[in-house]
Amino acid sequence: MQIMPEKIKVLMSLGSNTGNRLTMLTKALSELERGGFCITDKSKIWETSPWGLTNQPRFLNMCICAETKFPPEEMIRTIKNIEKKLGRSKSIKWGPREIDIDIIAIDELVIETPDLSVPHRHMHERAFVLIPLKEIAPWFRHPVTGKTLDEMICALPAEKMEWII
């Protein structure tokens, strides 16, 4: 495992729509901390409609800001292992899932590999990412398009999102 010389900032989105959704988010936060991510901020938890495949239960979503010394390849490997540990199984694309942890951005890096796209390729289309992200990273600017969170949010269709915690 390669360790980065200094900590880098990573923004993540977490979601769950099966089982006890709140418990799953709480467990994911604990596992991320144990796994080498120092969580520095977290958004409220929002209940949202599913995206992509819409005929499924509603999600609980949140975003976090964390610091780590891991390089991006180790970050994604650690996150996938946490998802698996928490019971995520392979299913249909955008289908129901126990836990989903997505890397949204890593500092101002732009990465495109088979295992990782940073910034997240669909972030600008998802209110359930942008709105919680604005709570914890209002300074964020998309490293490819240069758009602010407000600009990306304004470009989305209206969506009902309910803050629950």
pLDDT digits (tens, 9 = 90+) for 116-152: 999 999 999 889 999 999 999 999 999 999 999 999 9
Amino acid letter, 61: N
Is the pLDDT assigned to residue 2 strictly greater than 70?
A: no
pLDDT at 96: 75
Residue 121 burial (CB < 10 Å; 0-12/13-18/19+)? exposed
State the pLDDT confidence band at 38, using cuts at 50, 70 and 90: very high
Q: What pLDDT sits at residue 23?
A: 96
- Residues known to be catalytic: 88, 97, 100, 102
Percent of the chain with pLDDT over 90: 72
Q: What pLDDT sits at residue 97? A: 79
Q: Per-residue pLDDT for 40 more than 90?
A: yes
Residue 20: phi, psi to the nearest 5?
-85, 95
Do residues 60 and 45 make contact, with C-beta atoms less than 8 angstroms apart?
yes
pTM of the model: 0.90
**pLDDT on residue 41:** 98
When pLDDT is cut at 50, 70 and 90, the band that residue 106 belongs to is: very high
